[in-house]
């Protein structure tokens, strides 16, 4: 896979910059304000790899009913994975039980310094106020660990940098809306992997090159158009590849591994920490906000405006964010609108492909 080469290149890249900056391991779900890490002179590495063998090693620390992403993450530290070996500190949040447990164990058993951040699970002014206080503490902890003062000026510069990347992502989404599906769901997924492995500046260059190519006369991808929502697809998970090999086309990916996740910008005219607090609290597609009615309203609104033929909702087995109450609410909301949908539950890359193909075939027949 291309990703294997990217991981090797990322290891070399991190080794080159390690003398200049601290490497912070960030659990990959899109809520950690990487802008503050950049402002502190650090590099945020998204811990976004999954692998069955790493998950098996992770089960020596976590129970079998923990999600395979958390198991893989701790397993990579156990087997001394070269990429994760470059991490100087790990950012630990309360995004989910898997993250909370995995980061605690990584800090305890592998002596990786841990920097905490707590996310609210509601969207209101109290949540923004709470998030602002958390970001202030997060900034202070980064200052203490890095030995560098994090100024508002540096945070504003980092916000502008990340907004530049988001604008390029939005431009790609717009080009696809105007010209047709020029990139497959897998290719869109890989665009974000560049950010995860190489950071924003390298990602921006890659996005710019991609936009140049998209403006040429490229053939439009064909397939039954679907919206992909739910859990993200880390590096090593072939779910979207399997879906598209079966004749579907992911034209909207609302997960933290999708271009559509980055559909809004941080307000550059507001005090930087407050702007970041508002941005991350109000992220419509964040898994932390999955219980919000706004999540389902947003999902239906995107469906209505996307020319999609259906929705695939992806759930990772034993994910603490997507309990049965979500499944019930999802079915009720989409069935009421008569929107074709399929729920897929997998254990990151271990579920039988034949079983998945059978379900995809039934879904395709239902759409027809």
pLDDT digits (tens, 9 = 90+) for 123-150: 889 999 999 999 999 999 999 999 999 9
What Rg, from alpha-carbon coordinates, does the chain have?
20
Largest CA-CA distance found in the chain, in angstroms, rounded: 60
**Pick from 167-171, 214-218, 281-285: least confident:** 281-285
User: Given pLDDT bands bounded at 50, 70 and 90, which one contains residue 72?
Assistant: very high
Q: Is the pLDDT of residue 106 over 60?
A: yes
221 vs 292 pLDDT, higher one: 221
pLDDT score recorded for residue 166? 97
pTM over 0.75: yes
Question: Span 324-331, mean pLDDT?
Answer: 70
CB distance 236 to 50 below 8 Å: yes
Q: Is the pLDDT of residue 287 over 80?
A: no
Q: Can you list the alpha helix ranges (DSSP code H) found in the chain? A: 2-17, 34-39, 52-58, 68-78, 82-85, 97-110, 125-146, 152-179, 185-198, 200-214, 239-245, 272-281, 293-304, 324-336, 353-367
Token pair for 339: 């929107």
Q: Architecture of 2-150 per CATH? A: 3-Layer(aba) Sandwich (3.40)
CA gap 42, 171 in Å, rounded: 28
- Domain residue spans in the chain? 2-150
pLDDT digits (tens, 9 = 90+) for 9-53: 999 999 999 999 999 999 878 889 999 999 999 999 999 999 889
CA gap 32, 17 in Å, rounded: 21
């Amino acid at each position: 896979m291309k990703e294997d080469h990217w991981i090797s290149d990322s290891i070399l890249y991190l080794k080159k910059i390690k003398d200049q900056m601290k490497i912070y391991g960030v659990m990959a779900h899109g809520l950690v304000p990487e802008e503050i890490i950049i402002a502190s002179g650090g590099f945020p590495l998204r811990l976004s790899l999954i692998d069955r063998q790493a998950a098996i090693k992770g089960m020596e620390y976590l129970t079998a009913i923990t999600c395979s992403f958390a198991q893989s993450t701790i397993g990579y530290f156990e087997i001394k994975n070269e990429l994760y070996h470059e991490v100087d500190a790990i950012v630990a949040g309360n995004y989910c039980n898997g993250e909370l447990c995995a980061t605690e164990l990584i800090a305890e058993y592998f002596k990786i310094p841990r920097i905490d951040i707590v996310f609210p699970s509601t969207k209101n002014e109290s949540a923004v106020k709470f998030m602002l206080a958390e970001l202030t503490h997060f900034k202070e902890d980064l200052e203490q660990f890095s030995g560098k003062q994090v100024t508002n000026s540096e945070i504003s510069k980092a916000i502008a940098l990340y907004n530049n990347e988001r604008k390029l992502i939005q431009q790609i989404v717009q080009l696809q809306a105007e010209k047709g599906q020029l990139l497959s769901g897998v290719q869109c997924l890989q665009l974000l992997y560049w950010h995860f492995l190489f950071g924003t500046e390298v990602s921006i260059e890659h996005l710019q090159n991609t936009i140049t190519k998209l403006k040429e006369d490229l053939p439009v991808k064909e397939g039954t158009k679907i919206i992909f929502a739910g859990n993200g697809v880390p590096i090593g998970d072939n779910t979207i590849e399997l879906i598209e090999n079966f004749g579907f086309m992911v034209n909207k990916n609302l997960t933290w591994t999708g271009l559509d996740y980055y559909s809004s910008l941080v307000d550059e005219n507001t005090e930087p920490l407050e702007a970041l607090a508002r941005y991350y609290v109000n992220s419509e597609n964040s898994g932390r906000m999955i219980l919000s009615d706004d999540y389902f309203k947003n999902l239906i609104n995107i469906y209505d405006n996307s020319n999609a033929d259906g929705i695939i909702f992806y759930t990772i087995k034993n994910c603490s964010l997507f309990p049965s109450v979500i499944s019930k609410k999802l079915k009720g909301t989409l069935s009421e609108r008569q929107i074709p949908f399929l729920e897929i539950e997998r254990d990151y890359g271990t579920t039988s492909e034949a079983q998945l193909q059978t379900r995809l075939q039934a879904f395709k027949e239902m759409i027809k």
